[in-house]
Amino acid sequence: MTSQDNIQAAAKALRTAAETGVACGPIRDIVGTETDIEVGYAVQDLNTKTDIEAGRRVSGRKIGITSKAVMEQVGVDQPDFGTLFVDMEYGDGVPIEPGRLLQPRIEGEVALVLEHDLDHGEHSFNDIVRATAYALPSIEIVDSRIAGWNIRIVDTVADNASCGLYVLGGRPVSLADVDLRTIPMRLDIDGELAAEGEGAACLGHPLNAARWLADQMSLRGTPLRAGDVVMTGALGPMKPITTGQTVALDFGPLGTVTTYLESAD
């Protein structure tokens, strides 16, 4: 059994990596397990609590590992989640300053913004539809505080589901005006096609992912609230990006969103 001392040591290693910009070794080596997801969440929860006590404001949640291929890669049969903070959020076209990321990779996702709380315990698909104010095209810039992305499920869960930053498009779209299951996704880096996908790649429908998250957060006593941003998961493969590169996402009827990683020069 993993001790509280080990959980605290793992949380400290991740905080130190984030503060110094120097990636740490695998968290599984500290906590002694590769597969116990709840140990990973114990580490994540400790750092989330520390961040909130330090004054960071929660803006929502993200869902990760929503494709079957990635589930097989990390050896799980369910997604994971992490916490979003206001200081992680960028608007469409706003450049990202140097030093904010260690090992960034890009994903195209549907973001939902909630109009109502989701605190029913077990939720229906319709509960998610009724609670959603609108959808936005979005970019998640996933990142890892663990050197070389040498991760298993415990590592990524402990590392706040590999959260980095996220970018939101500026044109809200009602769910009545778009079919999220069939929307296309095209990811260009510096004007060249890097990845493609579609809404159905995210657990069959992005709202399925949101439903899973709503149930999980209610179960854990931290339900999704009105105003929360929900990053529902990747619609295609994630791609590495380096400073100086421009990223453009096109989601067809959902719209477009772009970002740029500034160089230190």
Confirm whether 84 is domain-assigned. yes
Confirm whether 242 is domain-assigned. yes
Q: What is the sign of the dihedral through the CA atoms of 41, 51, 106 and 226?
A: positive
User: What is the per-residue pLDDT for 22?
Assistant: 96
Q: What pTM did the predictor assign? A: 0.95
Cβ count within 10 A of residue 232? 31
Confirm whether 41 is domain-assigned. no
| Contact between 256 and 91 (Cβ < 8 Å) | no
| Contact between 227 and 108 (Cβ < 8 Å) | no
Tokens of residue 31, six digits: 């906590």
Confirm whether 49 is domain-assigned. no
The tally of domains found in the chain comes to 1
The answer for residues whose C-beta is within 8 angstroms of residue 221's C-beta and 6 or more apart is none
CA distance 1 to 170: 47
CATH of the domain at 107: 3.90.850.10
Quickly state the pLDDT bin for 101 (edges 50, 70, 90): very high
The mean pLDDT value for 109-119 works out to 98
Strand ranges in the chain using DSSP code E only, listed in sequence order: 58-64, 80-85, 89-91, 95-96, 105-114, 132-142, 165-168, 184-189, 192-198, 229-234, 239-240, 246-250, 256-261
Average pLDDT, the chain: 94
Residue 247, φ and ψ in degrees, nearest 5:
-115, 130
pLDDT digits (tens, 9 = 90+) for 237-263: 889 999 999 999 999 999 999 999 998
Confirm whether 14 is domain-assigned. no
Confirm whether 70 is domain-assigned. yes
Confirm whether 51 is domain-assigned. no
The answer for residues whose C-beta is within 8 angstroms of residue 102's C-beta and 6 or more apart is 17, 21, 23, 143, 144, 145
pLDDT digits (tens, 9 = 90+) for 152-178: 999 999 999 999 999 999 999 999 999
- Residue with structure tokens 């949640």? 61
User: What is the per-residue pLDDT for 71?
Assistant: 67
Confirm whether 5 is domain-assigned. no
Is the model's pLDDT at 265 over the cut of 80?
A: no
The answer for residues whose C-beta is within 8 angstroms of residue 134's C-beta and 6 or more apart is 112, 113, 172, 173, 174, 175
The residue segments making up the domain with residue 231 are: 57-261
